[in-house]
Structures are given as structure tokens and as C-alpha cells.
């Protein structure tokens, strides 16, 4: 198994360099459980989902504390047949353990309900891509059903679903969408955009 993300943080400020460099320090507590590589487009974070999503949450929260309108984009992937297995990616808990869809939806919701809160409200929109099999829309529709009852659902959009809420439950919703749908060992990609401190947010 290989899992990870290409992550970019965009502070809409003349001080974007300092805000980004400051925010990356929030990854320090996670460094022994992640492999990180940064270039001018994104930071590669390689590790299991239960580390990736809290680490991305801490990175984004650190950037939002500047108070400026900040967005983050992540391309998250697991099980890509073109990537080598990497021991750092082994999840502590089973991913998508083969339960029926209805049971997975309930388990994912339970996990979001108990997520620690952070005090920072954020918005997000995500697209989930279960790859390599013919009934991918069943898993996508199941994921959307989970999202609608997650407590972080904002609204449906073309090509994606918008979330809104405290950053803790929102990132746990992303984690559950990524690990709870598609096949357990299959190839899944998640495309997510996050936003905070927007002057035009409702």
C-alpha cells in the first residue's frame, strides 16, 4: 500500500512566503510518521490516512491563524498500482474493511461525531474517485449519502460536494470519505479544496 498527498497552501497576502514557511512548522510533530518533499508547486506528504488528515488539518490551521484569506488544495491518493509499497503508509486501522455500504456510512458518521473541535470554521469541497472497477458510482453515491448526514455538509455542487464547519470534523469527514469508500486495497483519489477567512463566504 502507498498513500499520500500533494498539498499546496495559498495565503492571499503579500506576506504569503512567511505565512507558508510558518505554517509548515506545524508539521513538526508529525515528521516521524510522514515523508515530506517540497517543491515550488506542492509538498508531498507520504503516510497513512490517520496521520495525513490530522497533519493537513494542523498545516491549514496554522496558515489560517494569520487571519488572511487562505486556501489549501490536496490531491490525496491510496493504492495506486504505479506506486511502490511503503511501510510508512501502513494504516494502524483497517481501511474500508469490506462491510456493506450502509454499515460503512454509519461507521463514518460515528467517527466524525467524535472528532475533536478546533474553534476554526472552514469551508471545503471534495471529489472522490474510486478507480479500477465498473460500479464506481455506487461508492460515490454512498459517500455522498455519508456526507449529507456527516454534520459538515454544506451543499451539492457539480463535480464535487461542499462542506462547512469546524476544521476538526471537516478534516475527519475527508478522512472517512477517503478510507470508507471504494475497495479496501483499491486505488482511490480525493481532490479537495479548503478555504478560511474568505471575505465572500456566506
Which backbone phi and psi does 86 adopt, to 5 degrees?
Answer: -140, 120
What is the distance of C-alpha 143 from the center of its chain? 14
* 93-122: contacts with a copy of itself (CB under 8 A): none
Look up cell 497576502; give the residue.
Answer: 13
131 binds a copy of itself (CB under 8 A): yes
Among 28, 32, 40, 98, binds a copy of itself (CB under 8 A): 40
Per CB under 8 A, does 26 bind a copy of itself?
no
- CA 181 – CA 96 distance, rounded (Å): 6
State yes or no: residue 1 binds a copy of itself (CB under 8 A). no
Of the candidate residues 123, 170, 174, 196, the single one contacting a copy of itself (CB under 8 A) = 123
Q: Which residues are annotated as a binding site?
A: 9, 43
Q: Which residues pair with 165 in a beta bridge?
A: 122
Compute the least distance from the CB of residue 166 to a copy of itself, in Å: 17
| Alpha-carbon gap, residue 95 to 185, rounded angstroms | 8
16 interacts with a copy of itself by CB under 8 A: yes
Cβ contact 191:126 at 8 Å: yes
* Segment 51 to 90, residues that bind a copy of itself, using CB under 8 A: 69, 71, 73, 75, 77, 80-83
Distance CA 85, CA 8 (A): 24
Measured from the CB atom, is 115 or 189 closer to a copy of itself?
189
Q: Which residues are annotated as a binding site for thiamine?
A: 9, 43
Going through 79-186 in order, the beta strands assigned E by DSSP cover 121-131, 153-157, 160-166
49 in Cβ contact with 128 (< 8 Å): no
Residue listed under C-alpha cell 491549514: 60
Task: Identify which of 56, 82, 37 has the alpha carbon closest to the alpha carbon of residue 173.
Answer: 56
30 DSSP assignment = G
Stretch that binds a copy of itself, among 13-21, 26-34, 108-116, 175-183 (CB under 8 A): 13-21
Q: In terms of CB distance, is 115 or 190 closer to a copy of itself?
A: 190
Q: Is 157 in the site for a copy of itself (CB under 8 A)?
A: yes
> Where do contacts with a copy of itself occur on this chain (CB under 8 A)?
4-6, 8, 10-14, 16-17, 39-42, 44, 46, 69, 71, 73, 75, 77, 80-83, 123, 125, 127, 129-134, 136-137, 140-141, 157-160, 162, 187, 189, 191, 193, 195, 198-202
Amino acid at each position: 500500500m502507498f498513500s499520500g498527498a500533494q498539498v499546496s497552501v495559498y495565503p492571499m497576502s503579500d506576506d504569503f512566503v512567511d505565512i507558508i514557511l510558518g505554517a509548515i512548522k506545524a508539521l513538526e510533530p508529525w515528521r516521524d510518521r510522514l515523508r515530506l518533499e517540497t517543491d515550488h508547486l506542492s509538498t508531498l506528504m507520504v503516510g497513512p490516512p490517520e496521520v495525513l488528515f490530522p497533519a493537513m488539518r494542523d498545516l491549514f490551521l496554522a496558515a489560517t491563524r494569520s487571519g488572511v484569506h487562505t486556501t489549501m488544495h490536496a490531491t490525496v491518493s491510496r493504492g495506486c498500482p504505479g506506486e511502490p509499497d511503503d511501510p510508512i503508509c501502513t494504516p494502524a486501522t483497517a481501511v474500508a474493511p469490506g462491510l456493506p455500504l450502509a454499515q460503512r456510512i454509519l461507521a463514518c458518521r460515528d467517527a466524525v461525531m467524535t472528532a475533536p473541535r478546533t474553534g476554526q470554521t472552514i469551508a471545503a469541497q471534495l471529489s472522490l474517485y474510486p478507480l479500477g472497477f465498473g460500479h464506481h458510482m455506487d461508492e460515490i453515491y454512498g459517500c455522498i449519502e455519508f456526507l449529507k448526514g456527516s454534520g459538515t455538509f454544506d451543499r451539492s455542487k457539480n463535480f464535487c460536494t461542499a462542506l462547512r464547519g469546524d476544521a476538526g470534523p471537516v478534516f475527519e469527514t475527508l478522512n472517512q470519505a477517503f478510507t470508507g469508500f471504494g475497495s479496501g486495497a483499491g486505488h482511490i483519489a480525493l481532490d479537495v479544496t479548503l478555504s478560511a477567512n474568505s471575505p465572500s463566504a456566506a
